[in-house]
A and B are shown apart, each in its own frame.
Chain A
């Protein structure tokens, strides 16, 4: 069983996010400082509106912090222009969404291939990546099916294959089991666990479900934009906090 290395892949220092809406400030993340080690499996929990999605989006380079520092995969994301950020995302992170967000008009194969078209790969290499990814999620034989011909659990597994296809270090999943029944949810969590353990992916999962959180090694709780609790399943690692 692979253990997280001691290298932080994600470093937040006093990271703050403020939304402005109708002249009003919404302080969504309030000076969050946090290290996440490469190879870790983190569950991000907390009540609705506590800032979980916001934090995940910042880490994935979908949005920029209002203040503080944010370094992911060795890159200070605050330094990147939107265009550079898009390129960085294509190379380093993949997202898994609650509602799968597969493109309904494309087959499973084409959906998984989509992010690969952004990388300098030949057609044959792309094909190979897609087949490998679909094999990992156990859906190789469904690759010519459209999303509406798949069950919800299968759709989410295709979405995971799509996330895997570019072989990113970091997988970010926002309530990936939120729309699934218990059985499919278990399948998806087993898949994520094996991706962490066997393929060494660093994974962050936002969830409300304690069972899902139980699959992770580390559990972070957000309350009103503040990190309220940081717990390890096996208390072998010290809580990462602001450095002295």
Chain B
């Protein structure tokens, strides 16, 4: 039979000072871990959700990102006429040829330059990118140097307001509207007329990508178009993939970097947390030697003593986990941004404390669950040796008066 649970959890509450130190250490590790995972998850969400699963994207063969891609207009026109491209309500193809370039603009606070995606859009772009909506002002007029900026960008850069103008290279652009896109990475872009883009930047008839709505099942459309691209000698220079899969890939490098660096930092801090828990538990065992001796004299086995102290350490850890999780909620939804190393462009996103952990716990709250498990593991590891010491006490020694 086990020592009653009440013995373990009440003992935590009794030694407030000593417990508080261990709890604080564990809570700190939890906060750091949660925040880093929330950062990675927020970034992943912003970028990975940019693509629609119903869309396919055409890029130059071998291009890792839209920025390095080139798609010639003639090739795109051939694809546009294929039956795999869906047709909209008014009979036109839901097919958009787009340009993309990086422009660098000084940050308003003088802390250097930001590299920002400038996208040349077609009249069909809004049909293809369904989530994109105007929030403020109006859309740019076709054939002008007017632009609309993504909401995240407008938030991060103070000088990005409607009515403002900015200069990039020798070109002047005028901001006339702000658009939103469910918080994904389009909101970190500036959009303008693709034709003006091409003449401004002397692009000839080369675009970066063609994106379209698949008719019927996207998976089947993808397979059949792949076959067509393989067979048609005019289409040898391009490849096709699902737009959602493309953006997911764009998010992975950066998210893994955050997760790995975060993992290393958390690991180092966790060692501190474990040592803290171990100290507290060693002190508890030393202080309660005679209680332990008394329980052994009653006939409790060394195993049940071990369990009682492990449970006590787990209680410490779960209090730490709870406090850590609650504290980290403060970070939820805070907006931030970084340069996406996969595209070199500035990407805005928010901390998603309530999100999941990609590849490990992909459900809402996954981050908090994984972090709590980390805390409990710290409690277990920290409590292991002290509990072993407690269970190995010889009863007559333990009962001796100090």
Contacts and interface: CB of A to CB of B under 8 A. Distances in A.
A62 B295 CA distance: 11
B396 A63 contact: yes
B1 A117 contact: yes
A95 B299 CA distance: 11
B6 A97 contact: no
A117 B4 contact: yes
A83 B299 CA distance: 9
Interface string B277-309: 000000000000011011111111100000000
Interface stretch (A31-39, A68-76, A102-110): A102-110
Nearest to B298: A115
A116 to B, nearest CB: 9
Interface in B333-365: none
A105 B395 CA distance: 21
A95 B297 contact: yes
Interface in B364-402: 395-396, 399, 401
Interface string B1-27: 111101100110110000000000000
Contacts, number: 69
For B1, B299, B401, which residue has the most chain A Cβ atoms within 10 angstroms? B299
B298 A99 contact: no
A86 B10 contact: no
Contact of A106 (B4, B297, B298, B399): B4
A119 B297 CA distance: 14
A91 B395 CA distance: 17
Given A62-B399, A63-B396, A105-B6, A86 B301 contact: yes
Contacts of A88: 299
B6 A106 contact: yes
A90 B11 CA distance: 24
B8 to A, nearest CB: 9
A124 B221 CA distance: 70
A90 B291 contact: no
Interface in B70-119: none
A101 interface: yes
Given A110-B6, A117-B4, A86 B299 contact: yes
A105 B14 contact: yes
A60 B296 CA distance: 12
Contact of B299 (A57, A99, A105, A118): A118
Interface of B: 1-4, 6-7, 10-11, 13-14, 290-291, 293-301, 395-396, 399, 401
Given A99-B401, A104-B14, A105-B6, 12 more contacts: A57-B399, A83-B301, A86-B296, A87-B299, A89-B297, A99-B290, A101-B290, A101-B399, A105-B7, A105-B13, A106-B4, A106-B7
